[in-house]
Structure formats: C-alpha cells, structure tokens
C-alpha cells in the first residue's frame, strides 16, 4: 500500500464513544480544520455572494467543478489568468469535483465506455468526450488544492451487476488519473463506489487504498436511497479507510446527515443545499428550518437566529420575509449567507464536541432539533 505524506492529515482527537474525528488537513493554500463543510462554487462563485461574504461565514475551503469550468470560461483561460484561486479571488484551499456527477446527472445524454464518457453539453448540445486523463489535466490547469478522480456514478437502487461494473470501472479510472497526474502540489482523492452492496463497497475501498491516494471519498450516495441506507454504507466503508487520511462524503448536505456522517468518521462534506434553500426562502437554524415566506413571520421582530453573527441576523424576520414577498434579490443573498454561516457553526460545534468527548450527547441533541415534524417557531 502506497500512501502520500505530501498533504498531511493530523488526527487531533478521536471521540471516545463514537467514530467522530477532529483533524487538520494541510494543503498548499492553507489548513482545513475538520470536520469541515465546503460551500459549492460550481462555476467559480458561490451563487449570489462575493468572496468576502463567503469568507465571513467561516468557510476555509470551497468546491469548484471541472465540468462546468471546462465549458466556460475554459480551464486554459483560467490557467492563463493565474489559476482558479486568483481568478475568483479566493486565497484559501479549493477542491474540484471531477465531473463524474455531471455525467450521471446528464444520464439521458451520455454514454459511458471504458475509455471515458461521451455526452452533450447542457449549454449548446456540443458533443464532449471526458476521459480520466482529461479530468485530471483540467483540474491541474485550474490549480485546485484537491483534485477528485473521475468515477462512474449510477442511480440507486441499482442491481449488484450494475454496481460492480461501475465500481470496478471507478477503480480503473482512478488508477489512470493517478498515472496521468503531473502536479506534485495537488492532492488526489479517490472515490469509493459500489452502490448499496456492502461487499462491493469494501472491495472498491481496498483496491483504491492499494493504489494509494491522498484522501478517500464516499461517492454515489444521496442519489435516491433513504438516509438509513446511506448511514449503513458509511458504517461499512469508514472503518476500512485509512485513519491517517481524510474522508469525504460527497454531495450530502442535510444538517442532520452531516452530523450523522461525522459520528461515523466522515471529515469533509459539500452540498448546494444551504444556498439553494436560501434562494428559496428556507432558513436553517439550530432548532430546525424556518420558511421565511410564511405569514407567521410578517410582524416578527426577532432575528432568524438570536445568537447568529451573520449580517442577515442584524435584521428582523419581518424584514427578511418582506424581501422575498417583494422579490428583492437581497432576500436570497441574505438567507444564503445565513445558511452558510449556520453550516459553519454546526461544524464548529461538532469539532468542539469531539474535542470535549461529548459528541454522543451532541448527536442525540441534534437528532431532536434538526428533524422537527413542523417548522420551528
């Protein structure tokens, strides 16, 4: 088994009653304190927000997307502009997704072969062929701190035959990604596939570990399966992964799922949920969600959350509701800021609970708060 020490992951503390971990990942553009949530900046921006606003939410790593940035403005242009960090004005770490999920999401427009995936651009219908080597080349041109290998994502539930085919191809593509990589200053994370089959997940993880990567992600979840099935797969996969390297659960973003993932040993998360819901008038809080268009908030002088330091909570719930009712763009911006701030606070609370060996109690508390049967008051 070959492991890299170029991007050290320091395990600072392990919770005594759960599998939750407190760590620190050292990357070229800074350290990532884990557990960590990555806001999604698919096209070089977290939708609707400035970089300064994103930074003030407490984020210290962002996610960009290979597929979207390769289409526009193009990875070569971004490289000429000094790389993605300089292009978007963000001087902290960036992780770039490989494009594998976009291949999956364009399922009616793609064809996957051993060489790669052929599909149509969602912009103009142009034919695109993306190979593992292409994905890595694009990510190296973008200059991200972490590049994800190209994987084969399938919908769930899936047959064992389909899951085996996709997971085996993901391993072969991962090897090709590693062999084609040229940059020594960019971490490479592999992605464990295998559907909902425990044996396939373990087999895929073990094969990827034998190849050797800087971190390991659990992919192909939150694509149709119920949450208990996702938790079951995490219970199976996380114990197989190296303890001295980061573990990343891809595309999972309900607050309760983040906490449940941490309890099972996950270190990193990403999702569009906080900003997408913010644009649609839903605010996340420590006591559950608030639907800010509801009439109950029309005269409410309280902030969205009493102890929240974000700029949205400098205003009343009545004002936030008014912005949405008036179709003012400030409403989605403020709720996006609030939701991202809440997610970063949730990670901070989780890190502190792990350090103090009380994560089990924290988990039970979050289960009671984050999945209410109705909107919180």
Catalytic residues: 97, 270
* Contact (CB, 8 A) for 343 and 277: no
* Contact (CB, 8 A) for 112 and 104: no
Q: Are strands 21-27 and 30-34 parallel, antiparallel or unpaired?
A: antiparallel
**Distance linking the first and last C-alpha atoms of the chain:** 53
Name 377's Cβ contacts closer than 8 Å, sequence gap at least 6: none
- Residue 210 burial class via C-beta count within 10 angstroms: exposed 0-12, middle 13-18, buried 19 and up: exposed
* Contact (CB, 8 A) for 35 and 24: no
* Contact (CB, 8 A) for 341 and 57: yes
Q: How many Å apart are CA 170 and CA 189, to the nearest integer?
A: 12
Q: Among the residues of the chain, which ranges form H helices? A: 51-56, 66-71, 75-80, 84-88, 100-105, 132-142, 160-180, 198-211, 227-237, 255-263, 273-279, 317-325, 330-355, 359-370
């Amino acid at each position: 088994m070959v492991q890299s020490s170029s991007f050290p992951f320091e395990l600072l503390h392990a919770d005594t009653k759960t599998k939750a971990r407190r760590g620190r990942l050292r990357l070229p553009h800074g350290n990532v304190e884990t557990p960590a949530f990555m806001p999604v900046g698919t096209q070089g921006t977290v939708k609707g927000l400035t970089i300064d606003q994103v930074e003030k939410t407490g984020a210290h790593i962002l996610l960009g997307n290979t597929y979207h940035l390769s289409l526009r403005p193009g990875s070569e242009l971004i490289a000429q502009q000094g790389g993605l960090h300089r292009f978007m004005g963000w001087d902290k770490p960036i992780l770039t997704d490989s494009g594998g999920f976009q291949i999956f999401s364009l399922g009616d427009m793609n064809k996957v072969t051993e060489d790669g995936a052929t599909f149509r651009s969602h912009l103009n219908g142009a034919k695109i062929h993306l190979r593992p080597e292409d994905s890595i080349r694009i990510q190296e041109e973008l200059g991200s701190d972490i590049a994800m290998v190209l994987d084969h994502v399938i919908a769930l539930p899936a047959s064992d035959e389909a899951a085996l085919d996709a997971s085996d191809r993901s391993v072969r593509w991962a090897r090709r990604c590693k062999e084609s990589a040229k940059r020594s200053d960019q971490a490479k994370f592999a992605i464990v596939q295998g559907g909902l089959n425990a044996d396939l997940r373990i087999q895929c993880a073990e094969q990827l570990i034998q190849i050797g990567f800087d971190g390991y992600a659990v992919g192909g979840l939150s694509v149709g399966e119920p949450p208990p099935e996702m938790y079951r797969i995490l219970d199976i996969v996380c114990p197989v992964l190296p303890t001295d390297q980061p573990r990343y659960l891809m595309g999972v973003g309900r607050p309760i799922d983040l906490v449940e993932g941490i309890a099972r040993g996950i270190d990193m998360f990403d999702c569009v949920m906080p900003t997408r819901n913010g644009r649609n008038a839903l605010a996340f809080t420590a006591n559950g969600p608030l639907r800010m268009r509801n009439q109950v908030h029309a005269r409410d002088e309280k902030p969205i959350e009493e102890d929240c330091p974000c700029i949205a909570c400098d205003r009343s719930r009545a004002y936030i509701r008014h912005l949405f009712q008036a179709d003012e763009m400030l409403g989605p911006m403020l709720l996006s800021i609030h939701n991202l701030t809440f997610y970063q606070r949730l990670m901070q609370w989780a890190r502190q609970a792990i350090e103090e060996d009380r994560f089990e109690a924290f988990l039970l508390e979050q289960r009671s708060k984050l999945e209410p049967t109705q909107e919180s008051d």
